[in-house]
């Protein structure tokens, strides 16, 4: 085992595979992190940090367990049922179920944000708050979906399990470091909340498409997310400048129209 690890450490191709896999795993982890951030922000402040750490810890544990059963994971890509003439594997079914859950959850949260006091309907299920156990359970559901997708992606990139383990550990460490700042940023900016929910809706739709065999290049998805985030950052900068200008004008006793207040 030691000789095998030493050979990997001396192989430039293994290092290239590790760097590439870490980059891909971190990018794929953004989806999971956005969901965890939005969900834990609905908890009481004193429970949020613990819920994030538990959620990300479960994600780590699930990925390591899946890596330990990699022979079974590879078989998840074999068709098990046929729907409308299309063979679906366990991986496809997991992606479709996870995508449907994500679409439902994002739609429910968008519905609540648009109308905080909606009439009774399928989306009006106490969206304003959530219990700690319910939050962890929902995080676990998405952890499973993203973990299966992540491990199958890793298997397609390298055959060396130690490389996959290191990539998973680095990814989870990045998620732990970014979880609280991202959640606080989303919570402090209402328009960012809506943008993040729209991202989740798009990710859920993509998972469903992937499950039915329609490949959507991840580069397109993340490029669209990055562009939307950049536009929102520009909007935030414009709003902040307008507020500062108004505050300075008020401090100087100048009316918004440019005149001075009359006495």
Domain region containing 121 = 2-216
Question: In this structure, are 79 and 102 located in the same domain?
Answer: yes
Question: In this structure, are 150 and 241 located in the same domain?
Answer: no
Question: In this structure, are 222 and 188 located in the same domain?
Answer: no
Question: In this structure, are 19 and 100 located in the same domain?
Answer: yes
Q: Which residue pairs from 5-14 have beta carbons closer than 8 angstroms and sit at least 24 positions apart in sequence? A: 5/162, 8/160, 8/162, 8/163, 14/158, 14/160, 14/163
Question: In this structure, are 101 and 200 located in the same domain?
Answer: yes
Q: What is the pLDDT along the chain (263 residues), one digit of tens a residue?
A: 677 667 767 777 777 777 877 877 777 777 778 888 888 888 888 888 888 888 888 888 888 887 777 667 666 777 778 777 778 888 788 888 888 888 888 888 788 777 656 555 544 544 445 688 888 888 888 888 877 777 776 766 666 777 888 888 888 888 888 888 888 887 777 777 788 888 888 888 888 888 888 887 777 777 887 888 888 888 888 888 888 888 888 887 755 555 555 55
Whole-model pTM? Answer: 0.66
Question: In this structure, are 113 and 76 located in the same domain?
Answer: yes
Query: What's the total number of domains in the chain?
Result: 2
Nearest to 38 by CA among 233, 193, 221: 193
Angle among Cα 54, 60, 66 to the nearest 5 degrees reads 130
Question: In this structure, are 182 and 88 located in the same domain?
Answer: yes
Q: Assess if residue 104 is contained within a domain.
A: yes
What gap in Å lies between CA 227 and CA 198, rounded to an integer? 13
Question: In this structure, are 98 and 223 located in the same domain?
Answer: no
């Amino acid at each position: 085992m030691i000789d095998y690890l030493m050979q990997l450490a001396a192989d430039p191709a293994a290092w290239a595979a590790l760097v590439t896999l870490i980059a891909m795993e971190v990018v794929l982890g953004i989806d999971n992190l956005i969901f965890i951030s939005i969900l834990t922000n609905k908890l009481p402040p004193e429970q949020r940090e613990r819920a994030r750490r538990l959620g990300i810890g479960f994600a780590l544990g699930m990925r390591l367990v899946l890596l330990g059963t990699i022979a079974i994971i590879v078989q998840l890509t074999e068709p098990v049922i046929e729907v409308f003439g299309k063979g679906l594997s366990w991986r496809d079914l997991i992606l479709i179920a996870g995508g449907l859950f994500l679409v439902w959850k994002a739609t429910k949260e968008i519905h609540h944000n648009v109308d905080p006091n909606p009439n009774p309907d399928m989306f009006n299920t106490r969206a304003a708050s959530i219990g700690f156990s319910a939050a962890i359970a929902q995080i676990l559901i998405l952890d499973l979906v993203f973990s299966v997708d992540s491990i199958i992606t890793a298997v397609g990139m390298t055959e060396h399990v130690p490389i996959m383990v290191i990539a998973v550990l680095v990814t989870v460490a990045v998620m732990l470091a970014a979880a609280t700042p991202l959640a606080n940023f989303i919570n402090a900016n209402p328009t960012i909340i809506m943008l993040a929910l729209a991202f989740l809706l798009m990710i859920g739709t993509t998972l469903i498409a992937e499950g039915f065999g329609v490949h959507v290049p991840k580069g397109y998805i993340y490029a669209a997310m990055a562009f939307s985030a950049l536009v929102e950052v520009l909007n935030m900068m414009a709003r902040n400048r307008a507020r500062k200008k108004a505050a300075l004008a008020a401090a100087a006793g100048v009316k918004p129209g440019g005149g001075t207040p009359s006495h």
